[in-house]
Structure 1
Amino acid sequence: MDVGIPPMASNPRLLDFTTMARPKVHPANRLRASTACTACRASKKRCSGYFPCTNCIHKGRGRLCTPFKSLTDASTHSRPLPVSRPAEETPQTWSGQAVGLHSPSRSHCDDIATPNCEFETLQAGSHSPEATHRTHPRMLRNLQGEKVYVGKAASLSFLQLLRDTVMQHIGPSQFSHNVRNEDMLETEAHHDLLNFSEERCTADEKDRFIRHYDAVTRGFLNLGCGDDTLSASTSPTEPESDREKTKAAIIDLTVAIGAQSCPNDPQTVQIEQFYFARGRCRAFANMLEDPSLDLVRVFLLMSFYMLGACRRNTAFMYLGVASRAAVALGLQADSLGPMGREEGNEACERSQVWMSLCVLDLLVSSILGRPSSISPLLPDKRREPRWTGITPPDSGLVASYHLSLILDEIMSRLYTEKAASTEEAESLLRKLNGWSESLPQSLRRSSLGLDDQGVAQSRTIESMHVACSYHYAVILVTRPFLISALSVRLARLHQSLSTNEPTEMPEEDPAHSRLAAACIDSAVYMLQTCMEVHQSGLLLRNMCILIAFIFAAALVLGFSMFSHRDLDPETDEAYRGALTILRVLSLRSAQAAHYLEITTMLEAAIVQQRRRLSAQVRQQRNKYVSRIFSLSDSPVTPPRQTGEDEQASTATPLLTQSIPSYSWLQSDDGTAAVTPPMVDGTLFDWEGMDLPLWDSFPFLIESSTM
């Protein structure tokens, strides 16, 4: 029987088109590594792109895992080294130290090396021109199942990279496998039908909540409302005109934010939800028909409240409405310099509202890694703050405003490119250095000696917000170099502990080492500042922006601790301070509770990594004796467990063998000791930001088939 050629194969062009064509894949979703190791390239296996890679670690040849070096690629893609700077362009110093902040106490930073994807083309002691971004954008899902974008500058993207790294070096753990879905952690919105004509608290209680609002927003917001506007006694019960409704909404929202920052009790939670719901209803009464300065204030307040309520996507959208209303009013055309005392009240209010909008919008955009709606409206030539001899009316807001302008430059100059340049990073650090040197003394001095405790608390929180914003900006500048440096540190550490013949170590890059040290030091300084405020008893119970700062700093320190064999007491103490603050804030904030869960699991992975490295050092040091029996390594099946024993044994076996239990996380009866916040009258279930791994590793596939 004669078998004919299929009609499709009779046309070679048609065959090639139908068999070879495939849909385009977005660069952010591509899983192919930019550089493969020599072994994976020879065996034509997919390489994870980290060194040692997953395949080599799994097969016990991690010491031999090196990036594939192609002579053609090296000659084609090699770039000329940057010309050395003249003496007059030496980076400015921070308190007498170089830009890298290479503190003498940071002895563990001496063995930070260059990025593993670049060391083969660099000479020893040379400056690499850039560090390739290894954090990637994420697409998560909101409560409605819609995909939402999280950029590579976000802490969530850095968290995913850290999970992948931990997975490669210690295998499955609670930190790397705490992955339930791709949902972005958000709480349910409240849409209860309430009787808004009745007040839920007295005028004195309102004034107390408004004072809490003033403290929790110091350094971020100053809407220029005045004491008369933010007075509970002057608010009409039933406003009639749209203007009166908007002003009444401002009072309701300030009360809601103040109640949100108070300790967690059912009555305060009801007051918070009631006044926010009424303020939002009054804000939408005229359906945004007419832009006004009060309308910008209302949406800024609603955005800040939503950040504290763990509704960051909603807060981001409210900021967009506020920015469009501000553009319609021409706030961007006003003077952007520091406020002068000779300005009129109206010009002063417009300037305060515009600076508050810039600060909150640029901070939230950097935290989520999303483009800012304010950024295109900022001037090209941005003025440096000049406060010598004078103090602006709101020094905290003005300082945060000028810092937000530098933060916008960080996002546009570092995170819009494929790689971060060391020259750009040092230039931005010099700008941050100049900003810090221009700070007025009122933001540097302690206010604990004041007789009025309320004023002392507000000023202390204002100084803390400004200082932590500065440290967060430094972390964003230097974190790409920290990632590159610590990746090679792990490779060097793995090779140094190898029992076989030593191989050539990747060369260390001084420029990346200094920037990585600055990132670690900035995280330590931020957490030390927050711990001092916490120990003084002045920390409020829900501080939405501060929670994001603390989480970013904790991830940086966790990565450093995981990548080093020796202990650094100062770094370990700062990391424990982050856990302490998150534990306190978790009683009122769902965001802090989830961050506490993640950082606690990271701490467990660090303990496991340190024990593994100590065992390897011990084995390398003493070749004459070994341990021959251990219950944790016994393959004997344990007795059958029932009841509470089964509930207590659900943890990952890898962690239960090698780390102590955390008594504050789990009580004797297996229940959580830290009570999650109440949402809609029920306990909030943490299903949120646990992000899935990007790759399918060999031991994952094997374990899934068992």
Structure 2
Amino acid sequence: MTPDRGSNHGTKRKRGERRRASLACETCRKQKEKCEGGQPCWRCQRLGRPCHFQGQPIPTTTSPCSSSVPVASVPGDENGRIQNLEAIARHFLGDVPLDKENIGRIADKLRSSTDTTLSETALDINEPFDVHFVSNNMAHYSGEFSHWNFSQKLRRKMSCQIDRLDSRVCVSHRKSSKGSDDIQQVKEYWRPTQLQSSPEIIVETMMHLPPRSIADFLITMFFKYVEINCFYIERKWIEEKVALCYSSTKTYTAIDFPWVCSVFAVLAIGTQVAHMEDQKPKPDSEITEELSLCSEDSVGLVFYHAACKLIPDVLLVASHESVQVFLLLATYSLPVSTGGLAYTYYGLAMKMAIQNGMHRKYQGGNCDSRTIEVRNRLFWTAYTVEKYVSIMHGRPISIARSEINADMPRDCPTFESPRFANLTAFHTLISYLEEVSGTLAQFKRCPKRLLSEYLERLIRLRTSIKQWWDSLPATEECRDLCSQGPNFRQNSHLRLCYLLIYVYMGRAFIFVDDRKEPGEVITGAGNDSGRARRSILVDDCVSSALDILNTLQSLSDHVGLCRASYNEFSACRAAILVILAESLNSRKSQRLQDGLHRGMDLIRQMVGGSSSESEISYLESIEAAISQLLAATGDDSVLPQSDQIPTSAYSKFKDWTQSLKKDKSTSGNVELSSFSPLAHPTPGTEGFANLELNDMAAFFDPDWANGDFEFDTYNFSSLSK
């Protein structure tokens, strides 16, 4: 018990609990208020004002609410910590005594209350998920709180009862008991095998295989130009499967559908990038003729259709090889229909991955480490690329991040491609893009008073992204842009993704009107701060757009631009549109005009395939818009062609495709455009070709209408008015 502090006095106080401080603080004296004692005094501490003393207080005098720990008995820093803790306690508990006994009673009460609450509410409803491997590349994911999980839980409980019953029955009776056998024998049903097609379809599909040398060439093209910063397949694995395709003794079963489909998908993708090996200089007439022939696209379409015939059975097998199939088909479709067909294929890849439990960490011991690593790499590729496409095209993603606990890919030297540093860097970049997208989405629904807070969050994200990027390796991997380096193309694509984040972050603020009305006066540090932050984001956006063109120009000069590369085309297109948008605010800017002309020259190089008249009109519409907007004229320069001799492998491939072209009738040829969504102009929209994918039309509306966000321009402007 605490001794009675008033027992030393001979007479009883007139006002029992009220005590006068032994030394009043100067702040209370000046305010002519009663000082409540303590150092600092409780009144000053409660009111959040400074407390000053001229003399030293008598240490024996304490406040009813003060700590029982003598101030002189603890170091200065510990004294400050105790006072801060007491302030926190009073904030939540009110003006209560903070002596040792009372604090102990409060702590015991809180502990007992917590224990009681846990015992009443912590019900045992845990149903852990299960990933059961049916075969080496096929697994079944039970799901949490699912019908399957509950049935298995019930089955486990019933099995105990069955065991007890069986122990009471003789062996002979148990053997003759049909009901007992029926209970214990459960038919496993993992895939709807009764719906699968006959493997004879695979034999028919093999009739579309090219000569072995052509197949080897297309596979080489795939790994050289496509699998650069994402993992799709192992080269050794696909080469073994191709060898089986050309084996006359191979017999096929239902589980072979996915890998056969993968082979034809890889061949189709290889035709899209095969032109990268052609460095032969051509006159303009020959270039036009080649674009109209489109032999690579026609052959690629044959491979693609062969793969598509197997899709129903690939869905039925639903193994991690099925995930590979849809990732490859999505990659083939990226330059054809990014927000439509490719997005759908990525969704199927994610659904196959979830069905196999690839989004969950595998904790069993029935699968080897290499298979687990392949599963992890495939899942994170599907999740990351789908998220990238979804954000850029305003689509929802297939799975929330909170549902994922799969291990990240590990650095395994046995995996030849892609480079592990680039692989993880790409995943991190898309994670940052997701944060930026989430912050921008808040501008649609947040109150105006929070606009500056979200704007500041974007500035902090901008700083974090730059610091992370600067910390990446600058030699050979990630940030090494030496044209002679082994990873020049991979690193350039990584930089394009990095710059696109700044473009995406700042383009929504380009049309925020900061101009003052006549006679309007804008004052206030907050308004100036909001304008400055937006200016930083817009400046980063425009400078990043110009840097994108510099990166693409470097690619064009040294290794060439790929007309089927989604990264290169979309980056160039986004840069051109941002520069065009900024030209509305900064007319007659020579830097922007030069960037526009250079961007147009670059995007022309990426128009590939059959290059239909609508694609040409799309480019002409951009040039017409630039000419009308800036009232500037200029001749389009033709980039110099390389004098290198084409490789013999590509020559053989071209000869073979041209021979196939001649064997087909004109009506039987299917023209395939590398960017066919732009090849379907609607009546009355000839000026802009396709309004859905041509974001130029959005720049003539104050709202950014790219399908991603519909920002309230007035809300943004309110930061500066």
Q: TM-score when scaled to structure 1?
A: 0.52
Corresponding residue for residue 362 of structure 1:
387
Corresponding residue for residue 471 of structure 1:
499
Report the Cα distance in structure 2 between the residues aligned to 1:406 and 1:527, rounded to whole angstroms: 22
The one-character-per-residue Cα deviations of 1:114-161 (angstroms, maximum 9, x if unpaired) are xxxxxxxxxxxxxxxxxxxxxxxxxxxxxxxxxxxxxxxxxxxxxxxx
Corresponding residue for residue 445 of structure 1:
480
Matches within 5 A, 1:135-284: 196-230=205-239, 233-236=242-245, 240-263=252-275, 265-284=293-312
Matches within 5 A, 1:177-576: 196-230=205-239, 233-236=242-245, 240-263=252-275, 265-286=293-314, 288-310=315-337, 312-334=339-361, 344-377=369-402, 393-418=419-444, 421-441=454-474, 442-446=477-481, 448-449=483-484, 456=486, 459-484=487-512, 487-488=513-514, 491=515, 504=520, 509-569=531-591, 571-576=592-597
In the TM superposition, what is the alpha-carbon distance from 1:305 to its structure 2 partner? 0.8
Report the Cα distance in structure 2 between the residues aligned to 1:261 and 1:386, rounded to whole angstroms: 28
Q: TM-score when scaled to structure 2?
A: 0.51
Residue 271 to residue 603, structure 1, CA distance change in 2 (3 Å): closer
Kept after mapping to 2: 8 A contact 1:292/1:325: yes
Report the Cα distance in structure 2 between the residues aligned to 1:226 and 1:584, rounded to whole angstroms: 29
Residue 404 to residue 385, structure 1, CA distance change in 2 (3 Å): farther
Letter paired with 2:575: A
The one-character-per-residue Cα deviations of 1:404-426 (angstroms, maximum 9, x if unpaired) are 11222222222254166212211
The one-character-per-residue Cα deviations of 1:571-600 (angstroms, maximum 9, x if unpaired) are 333322321221111133869975x75565
SS at match of 1:316: helix
Report the Cα distance in structure 2 between the residues aligned to 1:556 and 1:412, rounded to whole angstroms: 21
Q: Where does the alignment leave 5 or more consecutive residues of structure 1 unmatched?
A: 1-193, 336-342, 451-455, 496-501, 612-657, 665-677, 698-706
SS at match of 1:333: coil
In the TM superposition, what is the alpha-carbon distance from 1:377 to its structure 2 partner? 4.7
In the TM superposition, what is the alpha-carbon distance from 1:384 to its structure 2 partner? 14
The one-character-per-residue Cα deviations of 1:55-104 (angstroms, maximum 9, x if unpaired) are xxxxxxxxxxxxxxxxxxxxxxxxxxxxxxxxxxxxxxxxxxxxxxxxxx
In the TM superposition, what is the alpha-carbon distance from 1:379 to its structure 2 partner? 5.7
Report the Cα distance in structure 1 between the residues aligned to 2:699 and 2:621, rounded to whole angstroms: 21
Report the Cα distance in structure 1 between the residues aligned to 2:308 and 2:222, rounded to whole angstroms: 17
Report the Cα distance in structure 1 between the residues aligned to 2:574 and 2:508, rounded to whole angstroms: 13
Answer 1 or 2: higher relative contact order, Cα 8 Å, separation at least 6. Answer: 1
Matches within 5 A, 1:648-663: none
Report the Cα distance in structure 2 between the residues aligned to 1:483 and 1:695, rounded to whole angstroms: 8
In the TM superposition, what is the alpha-carbon distance from 1:552 to its structure 2 partner? 1.4
Residue 568 to residue 505, structure 1, CA distance change in 2 (3 Å): farther
The one-character-per-residue Cα deviations of 1:409-450 (angstroms, maximum 9, x if unpaired) are 222222254166212211321331233123223122245436
Kept after mapping to 1: 8 A contact 2:563/2:605: yes
Kept after mapping to 2: 8 A contact 1:259/1:269: yes
Report the Cα distance in structure 1 between the residues aligned to 2:393 and 2:466, rounded to whole angstroms: 25
Whichever structure has more helix as a proportion of its residues is 2
Report the Cα distance in structure 1 between the residues aligned to 2:623 and 2:522, rounded to whole angstroms: 28
Letter paired with 2:459: E
Corresponding residue for residue 77 of structure 1:
none
Task: Please state if 1:581 is matched with 2:589.
Answer: no
Report the Cα distance in structure 1 between the residues aligned to 2:491 and 2:577, rounded to whole angstroms: 23
In the TM superposition, what is the alpha-carbon distance from 1:298 to its structure 2 partner? 0.4
Report the Cα distance in structure 1 between the residues aligned to 2:488 and 2:613, rounded to whole angstroms: 21
Kept after mapping to 2: 8 A contact 1:295/1:322: yes
- Structure having the higher Rg: 2
Corresponding residue for residue 640 of structure 1:
none
Kept after mapping to 2: 8 A contact 1:586/1:592: no
Residue 414 to residue 682, structure 1, CA distance change in 2 (3 Å): closer
Letter paired with 2:387: L
In the TM superposition, what is the alpha-carbon distance from 1:302 to its structure 2 partner? 0.8
Corresponding residue for residue 690 of structure 2:
689
SS at match of 1:284: helix
SS at match of 2:309: helix
How many residue pairs are counted as aligned between the two chains? 414
Letter paired with 1:305: Y
Corresponding residue for residue 653 of structure 1:
none
Letter paired with 1:248: V
Higher alpha-carbon deviation: 247-256 or 575-584 = 575-584
Report the Cα distance in structure 1 between the residues aligned to 2:238 and 2:584, rounded to whole angstroms: 51
Report the Cα distance in structure 1 between the residues aligned to 2:568 and 2:337, rounded to whole angstroms: 13
Residue 293 to residue 197, structure 1, CA distance change in 2 (3 Å): closer
Kept after mapping to 1: 8 A contact 2:298/2:670: no
The one-character-per-residue Cα deviations of 1:355-410 (angstroms, maximum 9, x if unpaired) are 211221011101211111144456699999999xxx99522221111111122222
Kept after mapping to 2: 8 A contact 1:562/1:606: no
CA RMSD in angstroms, aligned pairs only: 4.0
Give the % identical residues. 17
Kept after mapping to 1: 8 A contact 2:561/2:606: no
Matches within 5 A, 1:78-89: none
Letter paired with 1:295: S
Kept after mapping to 2: 8 A contact 1:262/1:540: no
The one-character-per-residue Cα deviations of 1:650-702 (angstroms, maximum 9, x if unpaired) are xxxxxxxx8578799xxxxxxxxxxxxx98248855446225989999xxxxx
Report the Cα distance in structure 2 between the residues aligned to 1:374 and 1:440, rounded to whole angstroms: 31
SS at match of 1:314: helix
Kept after mapping to 1: 8 A contact 2:506/2:540: yes
